[in-house]
Amino acid sequence: MAGAGMLNIILVGIAASVLLFMYRPRMTGSRSWQATLTPLSSIIGSGFLIIAPLLASVVGVYSPVAITVIVVLAYAIGSVIRFNILHAEPLLHDRAAHPLLYKTDLIANAALSFAYVTAVAFYLSLLSSFLLTYVGFGDSPNLEKTLTSTIIIFIATTGYFRGLGGLEKLEAYSMSLQLSIVAALLIGILVYDYEFIKSGQPLMLSDKDRDWVTRVLVLSGVLLVVQGFETSRFLGEKYSAEMRARTMRRAQLISGVLYIASVSVLMPIVQHIDLEDVHIADIVAATGLAATVLPLMLIVAAIMSQFSAAVADTVGAGGLASESSNRRLSTNRSYLIVSALAIMLVWRADLLEIISFASRAFALYYLLQCFVAMLASRHRPKNRIHYLQLASFVILAGILLFIVLFAMPAK
């Protein structure tokens, strides 16, 4: 018991140290780090806690391999968005000279707008449900919707009166807390894994009985769990194209390392979860096997992850709406419109049904961005790099078309 108590103290100390590091003036005052937080919040916030059991239910012990492939593919798609930030955006300013490019991007943005609004409503509904369950009001639909709407109004008000900078501060606070807890989680689980390996126990992961075709289709849908990097595309009001491309790459690398590390180390813990019916609460409770302090810390992390993802997608949606209106609509007012639509969805729509359509909308956006990249590449010098890039755009477009048409949700 003394050893377990000491581990709890160490993990709390690790989380506090990381949090203090994140709150240093050098970090909070860094424009580069601020530009990194929006895509990072969106990528990590939407699926970090659920990804390990989700993959384990599909491919079992091969989950670390699967997440590595998914992260690499997501990075490749991110390279398309970065190409468009640097090379397609300047062309989009002159819609008359590039009508096909402009129309393709406009259709892509329409799909993404629907996805963003749905994602904001969904993430915050999950947050409210999770929070109310832990305080004893888990079976109160109207209370859940009221709390969700209140949080959305808070985000919208912050965005309207304080703009992008105000929302970035919300992201910074929630993301810093989340990353500090993730650091403690990984250390705590590594200690558990070490004891597990020493004990000589076999890893008992019985994934669902599916044929390989079904597994591929489900994994295609899991790719969208690590989406969110495209939010950098809509931060042009504050950051240069070069900074947005650079910080998006950084966000993808950081999140990729965290996803691969977390899935790998969580395998011994995941075997204690019912993979037939995965819930975040079950994942949180299972981490108590490693250290008794972890469940409480992860409750905070789960809440912060949904909040930061919702804020990041609000930022992305606001920037997208402003860009699509040729800046006639300010981003501050766009945040209000996005939030109003999200509240309407919370009260009138079945979010569990439409979130699958939102996932396909994200994939459709990426697919259309591949076409945007192909069109923009025609204005680049025709050399070996050009043809290699064009080939990569075509291959990724084929993969994304497959996902749009055939991806299945993991159940």
pTM for the complete prediction? 0.92
Question: Mean per-residue pLDDT for 32-59?
Answer: 87
Query: pLDDT value at position 1?
Result: 47
Q: Which of 405, 404, 77, 403 is nearest to 219 (CA)?
A: 403
CATH superfamily of 2-406: Amino acid/polyamine transporter I (1.20.1740.10)
pLDDT for 239-250, tens place per residue?
A: 999 999 999 999
pLDDT for 306-327, tens place per residue?
A: 999 999 999 999 999 998 888 8
Does the pLDDT value for residue 208 go beyond 70? Answer: no
Here the contacts of 190-194 (C-beta below 8 Å, separation 24 or greater) are: 190/265, 191/7, 191/290, 191/291, 192/268, 192/269, 192/289, 192/290, 192/291, 193/265, 193/268
pLDDT for 143-155, tens place per residue?
A: 999 999 999 999 9
Which region, left, alpha or beta, applies to residue 55 given φ > 0 means left and ψ of -120 to 50 means alpha?
alpha
Name the band, by pLDDT with cuts 50, 70 and 90, for residue 396: very high
pLDDT for 99-123, tens place per residue?
A: 999 999 999 999 999 999 999 998 9
Question: Mean per-residue pLDDT for 69-85?
Answer: 96
Ranges 187-201, 279-293, 335-349: which has the least confidence: 279-293
* Dihedral sign from CA coordinates of 135, 139, 140, 145: positive
- The angle formed by the CA atoms of residues 190, 193 and 198, to the nearest 5 degrees, is 130
Q: Which of 341, 309, 365, 348 is nearest to 117 (CA)?
A: 341
Name the band, by pLDDT with cuts 50, 70 and 90, for residue 411: low
Q: For the chain, give every domain's residue range.
A: 2-406
Distances (CA, A) of 93 to 90, 96, 327, 402: 6, 9, 11, 31
Question: Mean per-residue pLDDT for 113-141?
Answer: 87
Name the 3-class secondary structure at 136: coil
Contact (CB, 8 A) for 32 and 249: no
